Structure 1
Amino acid sequence: MNRMFPAPWLSLALWALWLALNLSLSPGNLLLGAALGFAAPLMMRKLRPKRARIRRPGTILRLLLLVGRDVVVSNLVVAWGVLNTRRRPLQSRFVKVPLELRDAHGLATLAMICTVVPGTVWSELALDRSVLLLHVWHLDDEAQFIEHFKSTYERPLMEIFE
């Protein structure tokens, strides 16, 4: 079964997405969507990394809550900063964050978190995965930011994936 459907949930999601994008349940769209859902994961099978092993699933909920809190707080900080740029100039910088996290799934999750939280942009990952270059929208204390980033995002991801 795994040879024919290496990613059954992905196949189902692709089929449903095809039908939703076409806004049609015609036999042709049903068949074409099923063919896409069947063929795409087969063709891309070699590109998929090894399966993720989740070590501590309970940590996922805590991480989601922390990211959710940071998204709300960061949105407010960015909005306030935009409104007050004339009174207080921005101090945006590139920050090199040393990483202990090496798992590909953990790094991919960290990249998504950096994309979602306003005020940070994932800029570059060193070839040996030891340093992450982030662009931070407003930064008062670099050491405090690095410690917050590592304790809030990196350590829980290490608990989950390593």
Structure 2
Amino acid sequence: MCRGEKLNLQLARIDDRLIHGQVATAWTKATNVARIIVISEEVAKDPLRKFLLQEAAPPGVKANVVTVEKFVSVYQSQLFQDQKIMLLFTQPQEVVALIQQGIAIKSVNIGGMRFQVGKKMVTNFISVDEEDVAAFRFLAEHGVELEVRKVPNDRKIYLNELLEKSFK
């Protein structure tokens, strides 16, 4: 049995910029979340980035930065059961890790993955490498909707279609 049924998850989003203007204004307003949880192994180990992200949360919204392992242990305690939550990730592999731990995530919004050497541009704001593609395929095979939008009012584009065109 998946453990995600009790999490009041309003949005799961991959955006390597994490909490920034679009998230702090448009997405938090559209989802009416009370808490943003950044799940990133790298960011959780960086005290300065962690502090800056917690400070970047809009008024009335709490922000936490945790590892996958910490989120799973806190989730099991049902600490956030009655709160509307947004999960933010820097990469799809962290979403895969939650799914593998039995946490149900039905949909993931991909908002931005910057271009780096070795990555291929899929859109003007999403670049992926083979590891990312493998993670997205895993998520799709596990029934996770993968949709691309910068802001809530944008039309949904499905990532699977973009990957098929780019990685034939």
Which TM class, normalised by the smaller chain length? under 0.3
Structure index of larger Rg: 1
Per the normalisation by structure 2, the TM-score is 0.25
Greater helix fraction, Structure 1 or Structure 2: 1
